[in-house]
Structure 1
Amino acid sequence: MLRRIAPALLTVLVVALGVTALAARPPQGTPQRTADFVVLAGIAGLRWEDVDPQSTPTLWRMAQDGSIGSLSVRSAHRPTCPVDGWLTLGAGSFAAWNGSRSVDGCPSAGVTVEQPDGIGANLPDQESVVQYNQQRLPWGAMPGSLSESVRCSVAVGPGAAVAAARPFGRVDRYASGLPADPRPLLGSCVLSIVDLGTVEGADPATRAEEARAADAELARVLAARPPRSLVLVAGISDTTQPARLHVAVADGPGWERGWLTSASTGRDGYLQLVDLAPTALAALGRPMPERLFLGRPAISTGDRPADLAEAINAPANADREAAAQRSVSGAFFALLAGAQVLLAIAMLPLLRRARPHAGPAGPTPVSGRIVAVMELLLVAVALTVPAALLADAVPWWRGEHPGWIFAGVTALLVAAGTAAVRFAPGYANTLGPLGAVAGLTTLVVGLDVLTGARLQLNSVVGYSALQGGRYAGLSTVGLGVFLAGALVTGGWFAQRVHRGWRPAVMVAVGGLAVVVVGSPYLGADPVGAIALTAGVSVAAVISAGGWLTISRLAWATMAALAVGIGFAVVDLRRPPGERGSLGRFLSALGDGTGGFAVHRSSTENFETLVNSPLTVLALAGGLLVWFALLQPWGGLMRLFGIYPAVRAALAGTVVAAVLGGVLDGAALDVMGAAAALVVPMAALASLRVLGHAADRTRPAAGRSRANGADDDSGSGGVGPVGGGDGPTGGGGPLGAVHPRPIAGPPPSAPAKVAQPASDTAGERRGDADEPAEPTASGSTPDADPTVPVAPRQVSRSSTEVAAS
């Protein structure tokens, strides 16, 4: 009865952990009305390095009294040209101008603004721009959504006209520049959008002069601002490649001396361009077009340093780090992919010659030193991603040559991690390196997430604030290595206990990983948590041995669906402004706009699949596994037969990584990150298993199948003791009978060659870790011994042994 209800109990436990983690959310107060007027002032290209008390005294005083943050100016086009930035501001979603442009350039023609009546203005190109964004771009943005949400709006300057134009091209009130007295104009409508100019170029003197001119215009706006008004100043776009983070300042009632943040970023001090439109409407107390706005209203949080220079240094550093990350990240993953491919090629001859030959003649064994060096290289390459994550704790981006500094720091951390694994207890065991590397990786990524994911932001292996995808929680690479590390760690622990307890161990370790990934306080990735739930369920149902049957697959599928449905129900019961990504997607399906989300996801999957170097890692790892490790001479099938919990962990990793990548729009990136950790360790374990393929062991006294011994439970048997089958019998109990080799026949006697242990016998038994019946000679076939026998020894027949 317990065996029958165990799958149901495990499913309920996984579902309870998953839904609990996903349902809890940080308290989010609904933004209250704080102003009667809102003035949005944009300065294209303005960065925090342009702000100082001498060049921009007005903006400096405004930042001193108000709230500040780093603005990501992502739009539907990269780079975000000034016209794209203004259009995105007015749409509240990622938008782009439809003028002709090169791949990395901006539209050549300017914006045509007509003034037929001297009060408002008209944009004759607006209709084509709306059609372009609605039909050609995957975001379905509606230019002019911000102006459509208020009764009247003012635009000053051509850029502001682009943001304030309604979908049919009309601007309610327009002026090409600030009049001598701006008070009547700015007080005529509740929303005013002002173009203060552009700061561009690489010359510091030129940028300082342009910033000084924009600051003088800002001083006139602040002097003429209506009473009880909120003024938002934003570096509205990029002006050169590569993209950078820009200035965001809010000054008004309720915005005193804090950090700007929003629910779309989830991190203090960071804001998106698409957040400005909902921020303006929330401050005015106006309803928002939820289906059209991708951003969320900004709020001001405390804990900002009192010294403004110190406070500004944080976003300025983030801008420099994000810029350096872009140039280093591509080279890092290209080198990592190349190193893994070269190691895969070098592994092929070692796998071919790793299995000792039981007869009098065979291939020459590979030198033990070469094997030891190859094992250390496999450990090093598996630890490269967590080492690169830890390297972000050092401010490598401040140096003159940031790429070389990052490479040096990462190399030192890889060497330290490899040494720690090499000298860790149990390294000589078959599963010793695999468990150590997986545990170390899980510990590094998990601690970073538990402490606020500070190493993920703008990290080479994390996410960039410039991309506008994620600002908090786990990155795509972090998700891949964390789920792989957690599942393999769970498999390593499960292999060390009695097989009846293995599903519970997998669920315990995997359930904690689901909580870390899915909790909005931690990993903040509900889709990744649902995918990991499926992987944990698959791993749990086959961890005790046997195949992934239809019934077991049904239990795993039910667990993943139950977590997804449970979270969806909870998320949909929240107010629209507080829903997560899954709730917003289901709401879009309900109101008929879900096609845009599906189109975006498919587009992102295709672009990532084609352009990401992690795709090479995933494909190279898959080719090595399929064409080498899974072959009869590859050793992985033998590893799976002897260690079913490890087989379960790797199967769950594949399921979780594939689902997480596809559902998150990351294609094979999650799988590539997981493969960077799992494939080298699987190859190392396979190499060690092959090295023991012809060994024999004697059973412990009084331990046989008749008395119910389970040789891998750690209860006193010999053989594959949960990864403790090395020369020292690590993990084996005290008092275990250590095996010894059986002497070979005299030179003159004809040798009777003993057949090596079968690679598939364990699979035929369905539970390969169960000891086989002892033979007449006292040896136990298919056991991975605790003490390896000298290579190329020839065993005598059972008759000869008995006679001796």
Structure 2
Amino acid sequence: MAVVPLVLAVFSGTAAQAAPAGLAQIVDYVIIAGVPGLRWEDVSPQTTPTLWGMAERGSIASLSVQSADQPTCPLDGWVTLGAGNRALWNAGPAASPAPGVACPDVPVEVQRPDGIGGFLPDQRDVVRHNQQRQPYGAVPGALAESVRCTVAVGTGAAVAAARPFGRVDRYEPQLPPQAGDLLDKCVLGMVDLGAVAGTEEATRKAQARAADETLAHVLAARPPHSLVIVAGLSDTDDSRRLHVVVADGPGWERGWLTSASTGRDGYLQLVDLAPTALTAMGRALPQDVFAGQPARSVPGRPDKLDVAVTQPADADREADAQRRIATWFFGLLAAAQFGLAVAVVPLLRRARTPVVPLESTSPRFGFRGLVRRAGGTARPLAVPRPVVNTIEVLLVAAALAIPAALVADAVPWWRAEQPGLLFAAVTLALLAVGTAAVRLAPAYRQTLGPLAMVAAIAAVVVAADVLTGARLQLNGVAGYSTLTGGRYAGLGRVGLGVFVAGTLLVAGCLAQRVRRTWRPYVVGTVGGAGVLLAGSPFLGADAVGAIALTAGVGIAAAISTGGWLTFGRLAWAMLAGLVVTAFFALVDLSRPDAERDRLGRFLVALGDGTGGRAVQRAAASSASALDSPLTVLALVGAVLVWFALLRPWGGLRRLFGIYPTIRAAMAGIATAAVIGGVLGGSGLDVAGAVAALTVPMAALASLRVLDHASDRTQPPLAPRTPEDAEPDPPAATDSDQRHEQGGGVRLAAKVLPWNPVDSAITT
């Protein structure tokens, strides 16, 4: 019954969430003014008074500039604007970056055969390159082809306004004195205001001031009933940042800009500008050409602009810091988990046989000591308990690292002078608190206690973030970056991996506490709640992740009662997965085109024959994600599991035998990680996040079951009578010593006390 309210909340949503804001008024003209490199930190009442006044009247947002390559250089930004899709300017060898130069100054030839319009002789090569060598299916010039006439001012504007065969309807190299006579000739205008580049503050201010002066002439000459959009269309070097976008016109007053492609107020993508321009003029969008969605203005912006602009400027600083720190964080986490894997293997090997106290009766030892019997030989006792306790605590800390980093983003560490040091301090403090809470809890002494508590903490942290708007994952070190353009709301790759592992491990631990016949229902209930949370369009907004989790839950429920994955069990699990997949597919397809998730867009692409490009994009995305530190985490985890934990001395097989629901949960986790990575185009990122949580807990639980192995394998013996006692052996001879060297020492075993709690689990 507890799942019913969650289902209603997940799929009903609030009226504000489900109903998009009304569209702005239809305008007669649209002018897009581009300023490559312009960031919100460059905008101020003193430096850019015209743009500041325009932002006070209109709607603003942070612009994510994603083209077909990284970084997005100015020409790439202009051609992406004209294509309405991720495109790349590549007109020959001259466009290739020079060594050490991220965005070289590439000359663009603009011919003026009739003195009115322009012609780009390289445009055909650009179109051919994007159609044949890029997986996005971009058509440079698609925006210009959607209107009757375009006007361009400046070289960059000519690149965006050129039609696929290279024609620019009206072109001027610079804004003429009587700009009104030019801008009202065509319904769509493009103006190149110049770039803002460099790192020196004085240089950037001078360039921003020059662009603002040109913008003042554009606004003075704008036709009546027009929409003007100012956008920082690209980066100018390899420092990928968020940029400025401002919309000023009827129906765009004092709000945040957003679109269905981002799903978050205050964020737009570069590919959203082309459909925004056509929608504002009441024009139909070309089919299967544009990758973005029309922007709209939503309320909620602070009345004072100086307060409002702090949010996009702060988001830019956070995204820039996240890009640098995330690599270090996951790299150090991978190194730490590799070190723990090396430290755990000797502990597993020394605990591979039951610990049996043996009293030596041979004079060779010279004392009555404790030894370990293994295969007819005598071995020393296991590692001292303090060492084992220390390793266990470190394993708990390693598993809690990603949840701690996620919570650390609640603290604005990116505003500090040394953001990396502050993030590290906050994360370590949270990690210490979480580890101490697990270590001091009474359940820690149980075999599955640490595993259950860590899994619950991880699942609750991710679920709480998703339920509150996924603000911790947005530009978070353990979340997703708005600079990559992959996701702006909902459940990210790392969050999905942690949530899948936490949910299924919690389900396995809870199922172990009930009767065998009830275990599939417990796994299904807990896993089903996780599926709804991940797949809801208003919460996790990740239909692919929900499908992956569904497959994992189905496998886990099928084998939670023990035994193998038979054909019948697999068939039921597949049937359940197909039903849930069909449900999410129907829900996604029933939504408007602009609001569909990856699953709905992929199904539509299959229907119209463009599914091959979608598969190609997913493959390219997976290949590009393989250089992530999360890949190292996944590989380290796989090596430890296969070459250590699953060995006869590794303890994981014994754990699976004693706790079949944990075996079922880990089988489901592996299934979900593979499906989520393949279908989501994330490579091994999901598997890496899964391994970061699951593998340390599996190692700790394996150590626990090996540590108590004698309690389960050695039954209590009847008391021995004096008549059964063996006489003391005679004095040792040379032959006795040779026999001892061969491993044949006669020893009398003394059995440890039997643990009824652990042994009861095996019944």
How high is the TM-score relative to the length of structure 2?
Answer: 0.89
Is the contact made by 1:23 and 1:571 (CA closer than 8 Å) also made in structure 2?
A: no
Whether 1:394 and 2:411 are equivalent positions in the alignment is yes
Whether 1:459 and 2:476 are equivalent positions in the alignment is yes
- Match for residue 795 of structure 1? none
Whether 1:253 and 2:245 are equivalent positions in the alignment is no
Post-superposition Cα deviations, 1:450-477, rounded to whole Å, max 9, x if no partner, equal 1010010111111111111111111111
Determine the C-alpha separation between the residues in 1 that align with 2:670 and 2:584.
Answer: 23
1:174-185 matches, cutoff 5 A: 174-185=171-182
Amino acid at match of 1:614: L
Is the contact made by 1:90 and 1:147 (CA closer than 8 Å) also made in structure 2?
A: yes
Cα gap change, 1:549/1:786 in structure 2, threshold over 3 Å: closer, same or farther?
closer
Q: Which moved more, 1:567-576 or 1:176-185?
A: 567-576
SS at match of 1:197: coil
Is the contact made by 2:21 and 2:297 (CA closer than 8 Å) also made in structure 1?
A: no
Whether 1:137 and 2:134 are equivalent positions in the alignment is yes
Is the contact made by 2:399 and 2:693 (CA closer than 8 Å) also made in structure 1?
A: yes
Identify the match of residue 289 of structure 2 among 284, 287, 292.
Answer: 292
- Match for residue 758 of structure 2? 784
**Cα distance, 1:637 vs. partner?**
0.8
1:213-224 matches, cutoff 5 A: 213-224=210-221
SS at match of 1:393: coil
- Match for residue 103 of structure 2? 106
**Cα distance, 1:107 vs. partner?**
4.6
Is the contact made by 1:519 and 1:525 (CA closer than 8 Å) also made in structure 2?
A: yes
SS at match of 1:88: helix
- Match for residue 197 of structure 1? 194
Amino acid at match of 1:358: V
- Match for residue 412 of structure 1? 429
Identify the match of residue 301 of structure 1 among 286, 291, 298.
Answer: 298
Amino acid at match of 2:695: V
**Cα distance, 1:590 vs. partner?**
1.9
Post-superposition Cα deviations, 1:772-799, rounded to whole Å, max 9, x if no partner, equal xxxxxx9899x83489xxxxxxxxxxxx
SS at match of 1:784: helix
SS at match of 2:682: coil
SS at match of 2:62: strand
**Cα distance, 1:381 vs. partner?**
0.5
Determine the C-alpha separation between the residues in 1 that align with 2:750 and 2:567.
Answer: 39
Determine the C-alpha separation between the residues in 1 that align with 2:5 and 2:681.
Answer: 26
- Give aligned-pair identity as a percent: 61
Determine the C-alpha separation between the residues in 2 that align with 1:741 and 1:72.
Answer: 72
Determine the C-alpha separation between the residues in 2 that align with 1:72 and 1:388.
Answer: 24
Identify the match of residue 662 of structure 1 among 673, 678, 682.
Answer: 678
Determine the C-alpha separation between the residues in 2 that align with 1:142 and 1:315.
Answer: 31
Cα gap change, 1:67/1:652 in structure 2, threshold over 3 Å: closer, same or farther?
same
Determine the C-alpha separation between the residues in 1 that align with 2:713 and 2:629.
Answer: 46
1:428-577 matches, cutoff 5 A: 428-577=445-594
**Cα distance, 1:752 vs. partner?**
7.1
**Cα distance, 1:15 vs. partner?**
14
Post-superposition Cα deviations, 1:636-659, rounded to whole Å, max 9, x if no partner, equal 111111111111111111101110
Determine the C-alpha separation between the residues in 1 that align with 2:63 and 2:323.
Answer: 17
Cα gap change, 1:406/1:574 in structure 2, threshold over 3 Å: closer, same or farther?
closer
- Match for residue 26 of structure 1? 18
Determine the C-alpha separation between the residues in 2 that align with 1:22 and 1:94.
Answer: 32
Cα gap change, 1:745/1:226 in structure 2, threshold over 3 Å: closer, same or farther?
farther
Determine the C-alpha separation between the residues in 1 that align with 2:755 and 2:440.
Answer: 31
Is the contact made by 2:242 and 2:483 (CA closer than 8 Å) also made in structure 1?
A: yes
Identify the match of residue 393 of structure 2 among 353, 358, 376.
Answer: 376
Determine the C-alpha separation between the residues in 2 that align with 1:367 and 1:515.
Answer: 46
Cα gap change, 1:751/1:248 in structure 2, threshold over 3 Å: closer, same or farther?
same
- Match for residue 28 of structure 2? 36
Whether 1:242 and 2:259 are equivalent positions in the alignment is no
Is the contact made by 1:697 and 1:741 (CA closer than 8 Å) also made in structure 2?
A: no
Amino acid at match of 1:525: D
Determine the C-alpha separation between the residues in 2 that align with 1:107 and 1:399.
Answer: 33
**Cα distance, 1:149 vs. partner?**
0.7
- Match for residue 52 of structure 1? 44
Determine the C-alpha separation between the residues in 1 that align with 2:120 and 2:11.
Answer: 46
Amino acid at match of 1:281: L
**Cα distance, 1:496 vs. partner?**
1.0
Is the contact made by 2:35 and 2:194 (CA closer than 8 Å) also made in structure 1?
A: yes
Identify the match of residue 358 of structure 1 among 351, 356, 359.
Answer: 356
Is the contact made by 1:23 and 1:567 (CA closer than 8 Å) also made in structure 2?
A: no
- Match for residue 87 of structure 1? 79
**Cα distance, 1:404 vs. partner?**
1.4
Cα gap change, 1:500/1:192 in structure 2, threshold over 3 Å: closer, same or farther?
same
- Match for residue 375 of structure 2? none
Cα gap change, 1:593/1:22 in structure 2, threshold over 3 Å: closer, same or farther?
farther
- Match for residue 283 of structure 1? 280
Kindly report the root-mean-square deviation, in angstroms, between the aligned alpha carbons of the 2 structures: 2.7
Cα gap change, 1:113/1:15 in structure 2, threshold over 3 Å: closer, same or farther?
farther
Whether 1:692 and 2:702 are equivalent positions in the alignment is no
How high is the TM-score relative to the length of structure 1?
Answer: 0.85
Determine the C-alpha separation between the residues in 2 that align with 1:412 and 1:132.
Answer: 51
Amino acid at match of 1:422: R
Is the contact made by 1:276 and 1:298 (CA closer than 8 Å) also made in structure 2?
A: yes
**Cα distance, 1:102 vs. partner?**
4.5
Is the contact made by 2:233 and 2:243 (CA closer than 8 Å) also made in structure 1?
A: yes
Whether 1:618 and 2:618 are equivalent positions in the alignment is no
Whether 1:70 and 2:62 are equivalent positions in the alignment is yes
Is the contact made by 1:434 and 1:681 (CA closer than 8 Å) also made in structure 2?
A: yes
**Cα distance, 1:580 vs. partner?**
2.5
Amino acid at match of 2:32: L
SS at match of 1:626: helix
Cα gap change, 1:549/1:218 in structure 2, threshold over 3 Å: closer, same or farther?
same
Cα gap change, 1:310/1:658 in structure 2, threshold over 3 Å: closer, same or farther?
same
Cα gap change, 1:743/1:253 in structure 2, threshold over 3 Å: closer, same or farther?
farther
Post-superposition Cα deviations, 1:351-383, rounded to whole Å, max 9, x if no partner, equal 112243337342322101011101000000000
SS at match of 1:427: helix
Post-superposition Cα deviations, 1:670-699, rounded to whole Å, max 9, x if no partner, equal 01101100000011011000111111599x
**Cα distance, 1:405 vs. partner?**
1.3
1:604-683 matches, cutoff 5 A: 604-609=621-626, 611-683=627-699
Cα gap change, 1:156/1:387 in structure 2, threshold over 3 Å: closer, same or farther?
same
Determine the C-alpha separation between the residues in 1 that align with 2:631 and 2:390.
Answer: 27
Q: Which moved more, 1:398-407 or 1:94-103?
A: 94-103
Identify the match of residue 149 of structure 2 among 136, 152, 168.
Answer: 152
Q: Which moved more, 1:568-577 or 1:120-129?
A: 568-577
**Cα distance, 1:744 vs. partner?**
8.0
Amino acid at match of 1:526: A
Amino acid at match of 1:242: S
Amino acid at match of 1:688: R
**Cα distance, 1:577 vs. partner?**
3.0
Determine the C-alpha separation between the residues in 2 that align with 1:139 and 1:744.
Answer: 80
Determine the C-alpha separation between the residues in 1 that align with 2:44 and 2:546.
Answer: 44
Amino acid at match of 2:113: P
**Cα distance, 1:742 vs. partner?**
7.3
Amino acid at match of 2:85: S
Is the contact made by 1:21 and 1:514 (CA closer than 8 Å) also made in structure 2?
A: no
Post-superposition Cα deviations, 1:40-70, rounded to whole Å, max 9, x if no partner, equal 0111111100111011111111111110000
